Structure 1
Amino acid sequence: MSETQIRTYHTKDVVRFRKTTEEFGGLSNMAPGFPIVVLGHRIRTSEALYQACRFPHLPEVQKMILSEGSPMTAKMRSKPFRKDSRPDWDDVRVKVMKWCLRVKLVYNWRKFSELLLSTGDRPIVEDSRKDGYWGAMPQDADTLNGQNVLGRLLMDLRRKLQEDPEALRSIPPLQIRNFLLLGEPIPMIMSPRQQEVALVRSDDEGPAQHAFL
């Protein structure tokens, strides 16, 4: 993904989201009602998960972020520590965001997949007043300009969902250093259905298989 290219979007041609209460608000990382489970920890939003991934070397900061009830509060609680983000954060943040979106899909399959597919083939744009990197900013009533990295990641996920949905049911861990949550390496993420199948198989094949889970 070329992150540096500024794009212009015409509002009449796109799916926009800003407020989580709007028709496509569930596309936002701030949207409630899309809980995630990683390493047995229930995480309220993909925004909290993304912010926690800044600090694999600071599990207490991660714990503080994940304990917040509001995604905006989780984001704000991370701000005083941003100078201590993992040193390669700018290099890996798009990969982390892409992974977070896939985890959101796995744990909210019907709800999130239906929302993504309902956008058809239209461009997806995060309509933002101040962020031209993850979103695009209004220039006038008819156009938005920005890199729209989040919108493009959502479009890529939508394309894969249209082409091969079963390939999205499990997510390998990111191949980056210190991919940790609360001090533990983040493993393969499987859908609840796949976890049930794996558990049945492990019970059938003996205790040695439980290490896979």
Structure 2
Amino acid sequence: MDKKFLVIGDIDTDLFLKVDHIPTWDEGLLADESQMLPGGKGANTTVQLAALGPKVSLMSCIGDDVFGKIGLTNLKNNELIDTSFIKTTSNPTTYCVMLLDNTGEKAIVVAPSVDIYPSLKMIEDSKCDFSSYENVHIIGLNPSKTLEYIEYLKQFDVSISVDLDSANGSEKQLLSIIDKSDIIFINKQGLHKLIKNVDDDVAVKKLGKKCKNTTIVCTLGSKGVMQVSNKEFTFEKANKINPVDTTGSGDSFIAGWLYVNFCLKDYNVSTKLKFANNCGETLALCLGGQGILLKNPEIGKDKIEFYEPFDAFGYLCNLSIYPFEYEGTIWPTSEQCYQAYKHTDEDYRRKIRECDDIYEVIELGRNVDSGSYDEYRWMTERVDVMYDIVLAKFSQNEDIKRLLLLTGDAKLIEHTKNDDFWGDNFDGTGENQLGKVLMKVRETLRKQSKRVDFESNN
């Protein structure tokens, strides 16, 4: 893929505290879990856009401190992300404390830095060839700097998009930003700061009339998304999900929209909005704003290759840790369950279940001299057993169930040279039985979801 994008925005680090509920005034409570993850709208959008395939540059600034190093390390580990325009300053890196309850709702406290966004001088001195990019995307939470960026970028032949989010700033500044940009992303709260006392669709149409040459994309949270472009209005409803964390969902939506708009131009507006919706919803099933995004939420690729539990599609791997119940027993991984059921002795199965070393698990499973292994029985029923186990895993873990359904009709392939039965033997000559099992499970879950939706509507 030869498309390139540039993001001008922020990098920060997010400290997540999982709590039972968001506290009220003067209330103290203990966090159930804590985790520190890289964040920032600019960095989030960059990571999610790169996950979809194109090369992305991020122009930003950070402090020479632990928070800056956390954010920068994650970006540098991605070969599709160019970090050469990220400058280190003497001021501290911005960080956020996020309180996250069991419903996925959150409260955020930001400790901002003086240098959240790069100065215009940093941009001018960067020697960046802006015209080489398909699109320059600006995080527009600082209206004054955003206007400076836009005025400077107008000399280059490049598309400019701005994420206004909740529309901070004066009405005059915001309308000027919208009018001078090619694409604007704004949420419902921001929209109604500009167009008051009317319904959502009326508001976005009115804003479109004020800024006729700008494509306006307005997200409505769980309701969906609206778009106005060249007087054409489109609404696309959201899918129903049970979010884990909505941090960065808007950034992921924008990444999906930019990708499908500039890289998959043959799709109509409705399909593009569905794609972007799926990107935002997929990220909401993970903690943090830089979880790995699916490379093809329903469209974009016709096959998905997986193998390791920590890669982009690691949840498809039997080694990934998603506990589930099978025949009355809780299993940490589907691999342990599968290896154990090669044997009929309950004590031997328990030994495999309680083993912490996955290599030892596989060795125990392959032990044909255990005294309870029947090769004929196992060779006859192993595919059916694998299907039952994998179905249990995905049925009982809503997050990965949703991710599996979002793969659409893509062919799922265990891509390994180590197995020509369960995998593809790395060259396509293998039977790919695990991939076939996963696709069968996906179809079963899809039918179950449609049946539940039908019953709930009747």
| 1:19 shift after superposition | 1.0
Match of 1:145 in 2: 429
Matched, 1:158 2:446: no
Choose from 388, 391, 401 the match for 1:102: 391
Q: What does residue range 38-49 of structure 1 map to in structure 2 within 5 Å?
A: 38=326, 40-49=328-337
CA 1:39/1:150 → structure 2, altered by over 3 Å: closer, same or farther? closer
Match of 2:362 in 1: 75
Matched, 1:128 2:416: yes
| 1:61 shift after superposition | 1.1
Choose from 400, 408, 427 the match for 1:112: 400
Choose from 285, 308, 323 the match for 1:35: 323
In our comparison, the structure showing a higher alpha carbon Rg is 2
Q: TM-score, normalised by structure 2?
A: 0.31
SS of residue paired to 1:125: strand
> Following the alignment from structure 2 to structure 1, what is the Cα–Cα distance between the partners of residues 351 and 323?
17
Specify which structure has the higher proportion of strand: 2
Contact 1:49 1:100 in 2 (8 A): yes
Q: What is the number of residues matched between the two proteins? A: 150
> Following the alignment from structure 1 to structure 2, what is the Cα–Cα distance between the partners of residues 37 and 107?
8
| 1:132 shift after superposition | 1.1
> Following the alignment from structure 2 to structure 1, what is the Cα–Cα distance between the partners of residues 315 and 362?
17
SS of residue paired to 1:42: strand
Match of 1:60 in 2: 347
Matched, 1:18 2:307: yes
| 1:51 shift after superposition | 1.1
Contact 1:61 1:78 in 2 (8 A): no
CA 1:42/1:21 → structure 2, altered by over 3 Å: closer, same or farther? same
SS of residue paired to 1:19: coil
Could you report, residue by residue, the CA deviation over 1:109-166 in whole angstroms, capped at 9, with x for unpaired residues? x122122122221100001112111110223xxxx22111110111111122222237
In the alignment, structure 1 segments of 5+ residues that lack a partner are 1-11, 169-213
Q: TM-score, normalised by structure 1?
A: 0.63
For 1:73, the aligned partner's letter is E
| 1:74 shift after superposition | 1.5
CA 1:40/1:153 → structure 2, altered by over 3 Å: closer, same or farther? closer
| 1:26 shift after superposition | 0.7
Choose from 356, 379, 385 the match for 1:90: 379
SS of residue paired to 1:160: helix
> Following the alignment from structure 1 to structure 2, what is the Cα–Cα distance between the partners of residues 167 and 76?
41
CA 1:137/1:38 → structure 2, altered by over 3 Å: closer, same or farther? closer
| 1:104 shift after superposition | 0.5
In the alignment, structure 2 segments of 5+ residues that lack a partner are 1-300, 453-458
Match of 1:8 in 2: none
If asked which structure has higher relative contact order (CA below 8 Å, sep 6+), I would say 1
Identity of aligned residues (%): 27
Contact 1:24 1:115 in 2 (8 A): no
SS of residue paired to 2:429: strand
Contact 2:303 2:411 in 1 (8 A): yes
Contact 2:302 2:409 in 1 (8 A): no
Could you report, residue by residue, the CA deviation over 1:82-108 in whole angstroms, capped at 9, with x for unpaired residues? 674234110000110010011112221
Contact 2:304 2:413 in 1 (8 A): yes
Match of 1:199 in 2: none
> Following the alignment from structure 1 to structure 2, what is the Cα–Cα distance between the partners of residues 166 and 37?
24
> Following the alignment from structure 2 to structure 1, what is the Cα–Cα distance between the partners of residues 302 and 435?
14
